[in-house]
Structure 1
């Protein structure tokens, strides 16, 4: 079989989750991000939104595309939308019926206790449908003193310790300007759901999956927590650097800043040779990574002086030639236009050609899932609540 025919055959294989139906009772980012992942893998995702304005993320702009924020398109493309008031018993009953008829998976990230009061909690739904995989995406977990506290990504970055070691030495605490706990929790939810679906193939039984923003934050800080428990020292703030590897940070050149990652003693020796300071490689203060970490400030000052002598382009070429990991610090426009980004074909247009979104960072048999439907209008698919509806997405 020729390569072209092989690729074409791969592209026409059903996606891994084809035939799976997901009901997403979520808003903002965590549950919708999990739904986006599962939908991009082939699942049918039915999004439940509040009657009226719908998901809060519809208004998280500008920029807006067709009346909804670009962020909403990025996270909700390819889904169906049902708008309803869960506090209305008749509408909640219709949703229960839809779940019982069609759903393999339920994702929910309402405030603690929210779904239970509407009769849509895990125990309530799984009693009627034992094969259901039900995933709670909470703020702080299902136990403990904070279990009912609402959570948002910046709050959890603070409470989870991440902000304590963000920023440079002596600088105020700062947060990671990406909702990593929301998105990370969505990713963990997808992992948990996939594991539960795999086991269901063997047992026929569903599963309750619980994930939370706080647990996700603890996992991101896992290395810092392990270090603290080992030695009792709190992590420092190293800006673009890292605690346990030196030099492994950004350096200012004559005209721009570049990132350099020297992860072992051999690379450090090469770096010293390239910079014209070979004696540093044999200096007892810097001869091992442990020594370099202990004498970080002195070493970085010496290396920084050398980097400032020439422009970034010179150092990038020279370091690349020497096999030393390095790269420019790119802005988003540069990332989008970069030939590596283009080669990966990860930027995809939605099916209505309204928005460009980042596709899944996964390929199967060399082919990236290409399930990039359009973002739904609010309540566009309310007819799916009809017990006679057989429509598929």
Structure 2
């Protein structure tokens, strides 16, 4: 079972908000011991709302389950010393500081890997560790814009749109885990660790594999077409009597069956619609003809008819629909995380394993500094040393996270 595949590995997590926490959460979901290191006031993601669970943002809970929480002041020599001791006992370090920051702290990959050659060190940034944009900060939306991704989204002539879910952040997190697992495989074959340079720009370009390849092939800029696929038709959402239905019937047999099911047999032999490329070229006329029929019935009625004809279709679902989706329930993809004071927190589960794995208990995202003392004890610190570090404001131990719900400030 993948939920225990990484047991025995320790990950030190110096990341915040989306991309880095996604990568470390996935490793925690697979059984790694992930120690999340935050500043004394907590990471920025705790205060990003609306969307609150207790005093922290839903975003923070979404990306930080199954981790241990350590609160550490890296602006002090003593804090750096604690960090170095934690790293000494780790297999993997993941950091998402701006390039150069970890080096200035004395925690850069060359500085720590010199003493720990088996360490796998993953740096996550907006643009990469080298190059003319290396020093630039960036977040999901900025890179959606800068990578060309936003040029694909929306309707031609409308204002620019972005995907509201942080897809670039999440994709970057998955890319990081792929790289880390590849390094682990190399290390297990007798190699050493090493440095991984993972960035949002590369991940955003990878998301556009097909559309960017098309542009490189013919030099034609993509046209924003709402729900429609640029490479096939019909492959888009159509309005019904009470909502919208997504239909993919661009294959020859399914196009014929769609026309027959809608009572439009004349479209089958219409030269404008003879092939998928022709239907793309004449999309407006095709959509107009199909919509005249789709709006005469409800979405549920069309789903029943089209599915019976083996035509690919789906309701354009809201989140209210998704949480009641029978296949989501069968896959156990809405996991329940039990929190000692907040009760049950529901969120998307672990997506790379069997449904049974998501029924296993998950640890909620840690309060700020929740596990500091326990982790330091395991690293060899005595009680008096921990007390001194706490008095000196080098660490924070076991206090509740700072209140942020009312104002949404970090």
Counterpart CA distance in 2 for 1:15 and 1:21 is 13
1:126-153 CA deviation, whole Å, 9 max, x = no partner?
A: 1010000110111001222111100011
Counterpart CA distance in 1 for 2:171 and 2:359 is 20
User: Quick one: which of 187, 193, 217 aligns to 1:230?
Assistant: 217
Q: Which residue of 1 aligns with 2:98?
A: 111
Counterpart CA distance in 2 for 1:283 and 1:263 is 15
- Distance verdict in 2 for CA 1:194–1:389, change over 3 Å: farther
Secondary structure (helix, strand or coil) at the match of 1:356 reads: strand
Whether the 8 Å CA contact 2:7–2:31 is kept in 1: the answer is yes
Quote how far apart the aligned CAs of 1:354 are.
Answer: 3.8
Q: Which residue of 1 aligns with 2:132?
A: 145
Secondary structure (helix, strand or coil) at the match of 1:106 reads: strand
Q: Which residue of 1 aligns with 2:20?
A: 31
Q: Which residue of 1 aligns with 2:40?
A: 51
Quote how far apart the aligned CAs of 1:207 are.
Answer: 2.1
- TM-score, normalization by structure 2: 0.88
Instruction: Say which is worse superposed, 15-24 or 304-313, in terms of deviation.
Output: 304-313
Quote how far apart the aligned CAs of 1:37 are.
Answer: 0.3
Whether the 8 Å CA contact 2:38–2:70 is kept in 1: the answer is yes
Quote how far apart the aligned CAs of 1:217 are.
Answer: 0.9
Quote how far apart the aligned CAs of 1:55 are.
Answer: 1.0
Structure 2 residue runs without a partner (length 5+): 383-410
Counterpart CA distance in 2 for 1:265 and 1:280 is 12
Q: Which residue of 2 aligns with 1:312?
A: 299
User: Quick one: which of 326, 351, 363 aligns to 1:361?
Assistant: 351
Is 1:83 aligned to 2:83, yes or no? no
CA RMSD, 1 decimal? 1.8
Secondary structure (helix, strand or coil) at the match of 2:114 reads: helix
User: Quick one: which of 97, 101, 105 aligns to 2:85?
Assistant: 97
Quote how far apart the aligned CAs of 1:371 are.
Answer: 5.2
1:171-200 CA deviation, whole Å, 9 max, x = no partner?
A: 121111111111111110111111111111
- Distance verdict in 2 for CA 1:14–1:31, change over 3 Å: closer
Q: Which residue of 2 aligns with 1:5?
A: none
1:288-319 CA deviation, whole Å, 9 max, x = no partner?
A: 11111111111111111121222222211110
1:91-119 CA deviation, whole Å, 9 max, x = no partner?
A: 1111111111x210000001121111001
Whether the 8 Å CA contact 2:92–2:120 is kept in 1: the answer is yes
Secondary structure (helix, strand or coil) at the match of 1:259 reads: strand
Whether the 8 Å CA contact 1:33–1:75 is kept in 2: the answer is yes
Counterpart CA distance in 2 for 1:367 and 1:47 is 23
Quote how far apart the aligned CAs of 1:255 are.
Answer: 2.2
- Distance verdict in 2 for CA 1:141–1:14, change over 3 Å: closer
Quote how far apart the aligned CAs of 1:350 are.
Answer: 1.5
Secondary structure (helix, strand or coil) at the match of 1:348 reads: strand
Quote how far apart the aligned CAs of 1:263 are.
Answer: 3.4
Whether the 8 Å CA contact 1:363–1:369 is kept in 2: the answer is no
- TM-score, normalization by structure 1: 0.92
Number of equivalences = 377
Counterpart CA distance in 1 for 2:153 and 2:225 is 8
- Distance verdict in 2 for CA 1:171–1:117, change over 3 Å: same
Question: For residues 1-393 of structure 1, what are the structure 2 equivalents within 5 Å?
Answer: 15-52=4-41, 54-100=42-88, 102-352=89-339, 353-363=343-353, 367-368=357-358, 370=360, 372-383=362-373, 384-386=375-377, 387-388=379-380
Counterpart CA distance in 2 for 1:271 and 1:253 is 15
Structure 1 residue runs without a partner (length 5+): 1-9
Instruction: Say which is worse superposed, 235-244 or 202-211, in terms of deviation.
Output: 202-211
Counterpart CA distance in 1 for 2:357 and 2:53 is 28
Whether the 8 Å CA contact 1:24–1:106 is kept in 2: the answer is yes
